[in-house]
Each structure stands twice: as C-alpha cells, then as structure tokens.
Amino acid sequence: MKKRIGILTGGGDCPGLNPAIRGCVYAGERLGYEFVGFLDGWKGIIEGNTVFLNKDKVEYIIMQGATILGTSRTNPFKKEEHVQKVLENFKKFDLHALIAIGGEDTLGVATKLYEKYKLNVVGVPKTMDNDLNATDYTFGFDTAVTRAMDAANALIDTGRSHRRIMVFEVMGRHAGWVALFTAIASAADYVCLPERKIDGADMVSKIKKAYERKKFAMVVVSEAVEIAEEEKDPLQEVDQFGHVILKERGMGEKIAKYIESKTGIETRFAVIGHMQRGGQPTLFDRILGTRVGIKAVELINSGDFGKMAALVGNKVIGVPLKDATGELKVVGKDWFDLIDILF
Ligand code: F6P
C-alpha cells in the first residue's frame, strides 16, 4: 500500500500556492506516495473535508493564482476539541505525513503539532508579506510587488497629468517589504514603513522638494504604518490568530489628507488591497513554489519532520519550523542607508 501525504494551504492566499502543491505531488508520486488535499486550511483537517490530488489534477495549475485547496484563517489551537479532531483525522485519513503550506500562523500551528504531539509535519513557507524568518524569500511576494509596481506606474502617469501628489497604500501587514520594494521599483519619492515611525516634517519637506522639481510626487505607504498622533482603537477587530485586521485603518487616506493639509497641494490616494494577492504567479514565484514543494516531500522521504523548506541563498534546504515562526522578519536597519539614498 502507498504511504499517504496530506497537503493544506492556510492563511491569506497568494500566487505560488498552486505551483507548490504541484511540486509536492510531482515529487511525491515519483517516490511512490499518494496525496490527499484538505480543503480550506486547518478547517479541512478539523472537519475532514478532502479532495484527491494526483499528477493529472495538478499538471496545469502552475500558472494559476490562488489555491485549488482553498484557505482560511482557522486556528485549531483556539479550541481543544479542534486539536483533538486534527489528531483523530490524521489517523483516520491514514496520513504518513502532512505538508502545511502557509505563513507565520499556519506554520505556527504546524510547529506546535510537531512539538507537542509529534505529528509528522513539514512546512512550506508562503506569504506575500515576505516576513517569515529562516527563508530569504517567500513565494507570493514577487507577484504581489510586481502587481503593485504596475499599479504605481499607472498612478504616476495620472499624477503627472494632473500635477498632483499621489499616495499609494499597499498591504504587507507589519513588515514593510512590499511597500519598500514597490517604492524602489516604481521610482517613488517617499516610502512610509511600519519599521520607521513617520517623521512628518521630513516627509513633507521631501515631497515638497520633489513636487517643486517635477510638479507631481508619489508616496508609497504600508498599511501598518504608524502616525505618532494616531489613537489606538481598543475595539479594533482581530482574527483567530489575534492579528488586527488592517484594511479598516485607511492609512493611505490618512497620510494623503495629512500631506494635502501640510503642503496645500492637491493629493489623491489609492489602495491596491487584495488585487495584490490574485492573478497568475510571476516566473520567480512559479519556480520558488515548485522548488519548496519538491523539497517538502524530500524532507518527508528522509524522515526530517518538524522542518520547513527554505530558500537560503540559491539553495532550498530544510530548516527547523520553529526558526521560521518565532519572530517576524521585518525591514532592518541595514536597509535604512539605502532608503535614505533613494527617498
Ligand atoms: O498576510 C497577507 C495579507 O495579505 C496581509 O498583507 C494583509 O494585511 C492581510 O493578509 C489581509 O488579510 P485578509 O485577506 O484576511 O483581509
């Protein structure tokens, strides 16, 4: 009888998930494994909702955005009976191992299941935020930034015609990678990152200078950026992992209003939101997704559980899951000099 591997995708979706699923199935079938997909993240293994996966099913998903398995932000550790369900269904579906494809939250659950219950779990890192430790890049990031870069270029066109300041809000949660790379790649004049409290005077003076020179200016804002005067809302909504739902904060709009009030120059804002997360994966994300998917199966095959397939330099290697989820990888001080040169 063939050994069976389960796969699930959890957390926010991103392009590259389907190439990763495909990489797992291609590598696994060659080694004699069969696959079962759990639908909608950890919810699928709690409720026992599955779909059969084989090479025919995944052959042409490498160019598809989203995830054929669906996803959710379900956290089994919110309820003890859900953890028990995961353990029961692991046995019931006769799993030799489970591949959890996800970000900090999904892989945090995988880490606990491995450490507390000794389940045969391996992780595949994904997130458009690129904020996972122990891997140089996560798939989803390149596509999200490429999408944002194109949108930013379009905003520059209209900003230039109308002689306006354009403010562009991008996602990325509490890490500024998406904002930083978008701003660099689209020749923005200023970037606001969660890792660096906004210095209002510096921002206004630099934007004014840019505007005087070319009669338009472009600012990229991360959704999680902090304005010193902003009051924290104690009632703000959180998800099952305790994260504030950032989309309601409207930082792009707030910063656009601030800039307009301080400069007297007509300012508009745009929010790209979930458009960054859909659509076809870029070449980079197709290849990275495929490589980490294949590596996850190799880790299983060599009995290397509790590991995650990580890109380190140009190699994909196994690293301990807990190294990836302990703390977020944010934009560090080593980037600040470059930021000061460019903005
Ligand atoms: O973590 C990925 C991400 O897209 C963040 O950049 C964003 O803050 C969040 O997910 C949005 O979550 P949701 O899709 O649940 O609104």
The residue to which tokens 């495929």 are assigned: 290
User: Using CA atoms, how far apart are residues 29 and 59, in angstroms rounded to an integer?
Assistant: 12
Q: Is the pLDDT of residue 231 over 60?
A: no
Residue 9 has a pLDDT of 98
Residue 118 has a pLDDT of 97
- Tokens at 179, concatenated: 């904002």
Q: Is the pLDDT of residue 237 over 70?
A: no
User: Using CA atoms, how far apart are residues 343 and 339, in angstroms rounded to an integer?
Assistant: 6
Which DSSP helix (H) or strand (E) runs through 257? Answer: helix 251-263
Q: Is the pLDDT of residue 247 over 80?
A: no
Residues in Cβ contact with 331 at an 8 Å cutoff, skipping those fewer than 6 apart:
175, 176, 177, 180, 193, 195, 196
Residue 127 has a pLDDT of 98
Q: Are residues 173 and 273 in contact, defined by beta-carbon separation less than 8 angstroms? A: no
Please tell me the residue having the least CA distance from ligand 1 atom 8: 173
Q: How far is CA 60 from the centre of its chain?
A: 23
Residue 246 has a pLDDT of 67
Find residue 269's DSSP bridge partners.
167
- Region 113-124: mean pLDDT is 98
| CB-ligand 1 contact for 173 (6 Å cutoff) | yes
Alpha helices in 130-175 (DSSP H): 141-162
- Region 184-210: mean pLDDT is 95
Q: How many angstroms does the Cα of residue 27 sit away from the middle of ligand 1?
A: 30
Residue 82 has a pLDDT of 98
Residue 233 has a pLDDT of 52
- The answer to whether 129 is a known catalytic residue is yes
Q: Taking Cα atoms as reference points, which of 272, 33, 249, 30 lies closest to residue 7?
A: 33
Q: Is the pLDDT of residue 234 over 80?
A: no
| CB-ligand 1 contact for 247 (6 Å cutoff) | yes
Residue count (the chain): 343
The model's pLDDT over 30-86, given as tens digits with 9 standing for 90+, comes to: 999 999 999 999 999 999 999 999 999 999 999 999 999 999 999 999 999 999 999
| CB-ligand 1 contact for 127 (6 Å cutoff) | yes
The residue to which tokens 């957390």 are assigned: 11
Distances (CA, A) of 214 to 133, 159, 287: 40, 11, 40
Least confident of 92-96, 171-175, 323-327: 323-327
The sign of the CA dihedral 179, 180, 186, 192 is: positive
Residue 241 has a pLDDT of 81
Q: What percent of the chain has pLDDT over 90?
A: 91
